[in-house]
């Protein structure tokens, strides 16, 4: 009799456990969290990075240290080709006077409301000049409606903010 009660209890516990597992899977507790990542890399004369311009499209950013040219390109979801190109020469934005400027570049997320009637992409580009400690933030003038239609976009980066994080200039050698 005791053995029979224990068998029924074991079946009941197993059934409750299986029900909990199936319920958790049904409501999505077993699903992972969606992760979005950006990437940055640099060499002695250039840096590259990626960053989202809207929810499902990211830009590729390229900074040439020798010329100061900052460029971005966005691939079309329709045909897989670069359809949006943006650029700006950033040398004018840094007054440090470094002979051979060395830049650092990263991207970050930002949802800034349109200002002056211009829509801005969801990522900002932060560039620091290592010798002077100056930092500047830029955004892309982005129109997601044009991109959805497959239309080309061209423009210049929008300078947003600028500051210095070093109090003393470090000389180039």
- pLDDT one-digit tens code per residue, 68-89: 999 999 988 888 888 899 999 9
Same domain? For 142 and 81 the reply is yes
**% of the chain exceeding 70 in pLDDT:** 68
Query: Is 173 among the domain residues?
Result: no
Are the C-beta atoms of residues 163 and 135 closer than 8 Å to each other?
yes
Tally of domains in the chain? 2
Q: What is the DSSP string of 36-88?
A: ----EEE-SSEEEEEEEEETTEEEEEEEETTT-EEEEEEE-TTTSSEEEEEEE
Same domain? For 10 and 93 the reply is no
Q: What is the pLDDT of residue 128?
A: 92
Same domain? For 129 and 155 the reply is yes
Segments forming the whole domain that contains residue 95? 40-164
Instruction: Give the pairing type, strands 82-89 and 153-156.
Output: parallel
- Which tens digit of pLDDT belongs to each residue from 132-145? 889 999 999 988 88
């Amino acid at each position: 009799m005791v053995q029979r009660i224990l068998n029924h209890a074991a079946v009941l516990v197993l059934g409750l456990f299986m029900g909990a597992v199936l319920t958790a899977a049904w409501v999505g507790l077993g699903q992972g969290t969606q992760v979005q990542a950006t990437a940055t890399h640099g060499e002695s004369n250039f840096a590259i990075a990626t960053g989202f311009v809207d929810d499902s499209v990211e830009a590729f950013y390229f900074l040439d240290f020798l010329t100061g040219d900052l460029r971005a390109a966005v691939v079309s979801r329709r045909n897989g080709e670069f359809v949006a190109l943006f650029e700006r020469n950033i040398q004018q934005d840094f007054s440090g006077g470094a002979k051979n400027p060395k830049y650092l570049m990263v991207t970050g997320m930002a949802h800034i409301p349109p200002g002056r009637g211009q829509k801005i992409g969801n990522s900002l580009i932060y560039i620091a000049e290592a010798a002077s400690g100056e930092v500047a933030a830029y955004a892309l003038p982005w129109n997601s409606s044009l991109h959805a239609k497959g239309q080309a976009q061209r423009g210049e980066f929008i300078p947003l903010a600028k500051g210095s994080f070093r109090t003393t200039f470090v000389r180039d050698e």
